[in-house]
Amino acid sequence: MSLWLNGIGVSRGVAIGRAQRLHSTDLEIPERRLQAGDIEHEITRFYGAQRRARDELKRVREQIPPGTPGDIAAFIDTHLLMMDDRSIVDTTIGHIRSAKLNAEAALKRTRDAMVAIFDQMDDPYLRTRKDDVGHVVDRIQRVLMKLSTTAAVEGAPKFDIAEQTVIVADDITPADIILLSQQKVVAFITEFGGPTSHTAILARSLGIPAIVGLRDARKWLRDGETVIVDGEQGHALAAPDAEALTFFKSKQVKLAQDRATLQLLRDKPAISKDGVKIRLLANIESPDDAIHAAELGAEGVGLYRTEFLYMNRKDLPSEEEQFEAYAKVVSAVKGPLTIRTLDLGADKQVDSGARLGPTPNNPALGLRAIRLCLREPELFRAQVRALLRASRFGEMKIMLPMISSVAEYRQAHNFMAATRIELAREGYKMADDVPVGAMIEIPAAALASPMLARECQFFSIGTNDLIQYTLAIDRVDDEVNYLYDPLHPAVLQLIQRTIQSGVRAGIPVTMCGEMAGDVRYTRLLLGLGLQEFSMHPANVLEIKRAVLDADVKSLQAQTLRLLASADIEEQQALIAAL
């Protein structure tokens, strides 16, 4: 009998293969108290395990095939850096000495404290970076406990993939994903994770269908049984009948033909049937990502995050360190580059070295992003100086996160203007014009967008947070994420208001949230008047095709009827008809 299971589809495509479960990543960590004479030996044992874990990870890094998207190697590079991170190493050594704990228990105590900090972060993307801590610590723990550092298939000590296989696991490390992707693995199913989890990001980059958040998948799926994975819909079908196999094999063929057709659009301008030029940009995290995005037809970068310079370290990055990082990415991007200023806060300290105050009960509404930067001017000043100095290498724009009012924007803008004057006096070269804009991710900002548009030089709509704040739900929380609805009438009205405010003021409006890269919403967003989309590079060509097939003026008329409707069934019918 067939079994139909539902999770969160995070990487498009259809795969058919035999299920193979991985051992749980949960480890039973031993704890024991040390005698005073054993402490130095235990520290030596920890250092030895750390070095071996690092060396093994380096070997995985060397196995990444040439031409692989940059974000694949970036995950491994991040883990390699974390292997030597003082917040992991020094803290663990401190626990061994002060609490007289064995290395395994001391490392677990370090991990638990770091994960607790990440769990309080509001940004879903950054919150899931706690997985990095878990994977790095797990690798060292396995060496300490003399276990394999490679996720084991049930019943086998090493990977032994003999045919097209669907991996079923609670979670999968980036290193394991890289190793498995080079074998006959056709899809991933994990019990945990969301759209911003490692599995989701890496599966999309590798073009492997994946489902995450499918609870108890290892309980319901048996080793060796045939499983169909639909990575777009989030469906898994176990033991399919002949009719289902025929249907999904046909869908596989159509998708393969579709991918081949998309490649022909790479150099074609994104112009709608009625002549409206749409700009398609990419969200990136490294200079290598910028190169990959350009190869896929992106015209520039709509979002470059800067938080990673501040994470997993004891000290704050210097102005020079930031300048070098920004100059490198600006030089690598052909076209406009929008860099978001620091989006950390009291809930995201992670050993930054700055005392940002106690962690609030509700960090989502606390001192973070632009609020923190204005409260800590020296923190903000170093970043602004580095950004302005790097602006001369390309077409840079600076985006301020979590703006909620005109006064807040003016304060930040005036600070940046004063910093420019300071740099000019010191003899630094800068671009003559560096546009400064606001990220619209708070309902108050969307409602105040007509006033903000008279001050800002551009808007960027962050739909991920805008939807969460508007609907009062946490999309990473499994208990309420079913309420996360980009098509909620209130959300659509806020998006429309923001776009219209930008049009009337003559400033560009970009959308950089996940909604911009989801082809299901492209026609709707065109109807709302959006003309700049920023997304994961892998989605650019698919969105471009939707633009080429669209008649924007017709969609705008249909969308007006949708927004005027108060009937849910009528709204859904109008959305389906777009």
Report CA 281 to chain centroid distance, whole Å.
16
Instruction: Out of 79, 292, 373, 512, pick the active-site residue.
Output: 512
Quote helix, strand, coil % in the chain, to nearest 5.
50, 15, 35
Instruction: Out of 95, 135, 198, 413, pick the active-site residue.
Output: 198
Per DSSP, the three-state class of 198 is helix
Strands 14-21 and 226-230: antiparallel
Strand order across the 165-169 sheet = 3-6, 235-238, 226-230, 14-21, 165-169, 185-190, 210-212, 8-11
Look-up of token digits 């299971």: 5
Name, in order, each residue with C-beta under 8 angstroms of 379's C-beta and a sequence gap of 6 or more. 316, 342, 354, 372, 373
Could you tell me which of 53, 223, 48, 79 has the C-alpha nearest to residue 152? 223
Annotated catalytic, 373?
A: no
DSSP letters spanning 481-503: GGG--TT-HHHHHHHHHHHHHHH
The β-bridge partners of 340 are 399
Annotated catalytic, 456?
A: no
Torsion of CA 22, 24, 25, 28, to 10 degrees: -150
Residue 263: Cβ within 10 Å count: 10
Q: Using an 8 Å Cβ cutoff, are 484 and 473 in contact?
A: yes
Q: Using an 8 Å Cβ cutoff, are 339 and 281 in contact?
A: no
Active centre residues (catalytic): 198, 512
